[in-house]
Amino acid sequence: MAATARLLFRSILPALFALLVIGTAVRSDAAVFVSVAIAPPVLPVYSQPIAPGPGYIWTPGYWAYGPAGYYWVPGTWVIAPFVGALWTPGYWGWANGLYLWHAGYWGTRVGFYGGVNYGFGYVGTGFYGGYWNGGSFYYNRAVTNVDVNIVHNTYVTNVQNNSVNRVSYNGGAGGIAAAPTAQERVAAQEQHVPPTFEQHQHVQQAAANPALLARNNGGRPSIAATPHPSAFNAPGAVGAHGAAPPPPHAQAAAYTNHNGYGAGHGAAAARGTRPGGGVAVNGKPPAPRADAKQHPKAPPKGEEKTAQR
């Protein structure tokens, strides 16, 4: 009898595993196909917490949608999932009378994110917040908030951006009129890695927090950015400008996405230097170019692609 039970268990185990994988895939892909008839609110103005340490990449905050309406997912610092990883933020895009959510992803270069000016180096196209070189990430202190006593790989390159547009969606009435560049179209076809487990937890915690609902905070969330994923009440968490007081013990940060773009520290930032000078565009230095695909920890061939829709 016991032998028969073990044989039966072994025969149904693969089927159970397959069902588990399919169920997980459906849940993971669901966010990509979210469609809403109402446009998301404008982006709030908020300060950036100090980077916790080397190897963290800034992922900007955005408006997500749930059963109770739009809610704010705070911007946060995320440890890079592999050497050379850069984050392409998600964005809302208008099509056929609906606003569709295009999920963000990790890759070796930044792709199209709707032309949305999320600030802190994400000015609507490319990424000016830093670049990878020799296995280390170099931070542009003109648009990111780092402590040079903790993070030593820094430089300063001012980012010229006169935009005051805080619109959070692409296309449609009042939306951003932007289309992918040739480089961004190529990036969309490359290997992508989906958001990390910590990022998923971060979104779930935001969805469960009534204070982050747009209808409750008027578009000014009291938790606009955090130093770590899900660290909503940690020291360093900040609220949007004009919002209710941030969580207890939260400390104000020095960098602000004024109307959608980052402000630098001025003379104080001059202590950081970038080897070789020049401007790092899309997370890569102009020359010599550090090709992230050559890093041993880059995503291996066969890694699932997350096609940008």
DSSP string of 162-216, one letter each residue: -------EESSTT-B-----HHHHHHHTS--BPPPHHHHHHHHHHHT-GGGBHHH
Could you list the pLDDT tens digit for every one of the 309 residues in the chain?
Answer: 444 444 333 344 333 333 333 333 333 233 456 888 899 999 999 999 999 999 999 999 999 999 999 999 999 999 999 999 999 999 999 999 999 999 999 999 999 999 999 999 999 999 999 999 999 999 999 999 999 999 999 999 998 765 668 999 999 999 999 999 999 999 999 999 999 999 999 999 999 999 999 999 999 999 999 999 999 999 999 999 987 665 554 444 445 564 333 433 332 333 333 333 333 333 344 333 333 333 334 443 433 332 232
Predicted local distance difference test score (pLDDT) of residue 159: 85
Greatest Cα-to-Cα distance within the chain, rounded to the nearest angstrom: 79
pTM value is 0.74
Q: How far apart (Å, rounded) are the C-alpha atoms in residues 169 and 67? A: 20
SS3 letters across 251-283: CCCCEEEECCEECCCHHHHHHCCCCCCCCCECC
Predicted local distance difference test score (pLDDT) of residue 240: 92
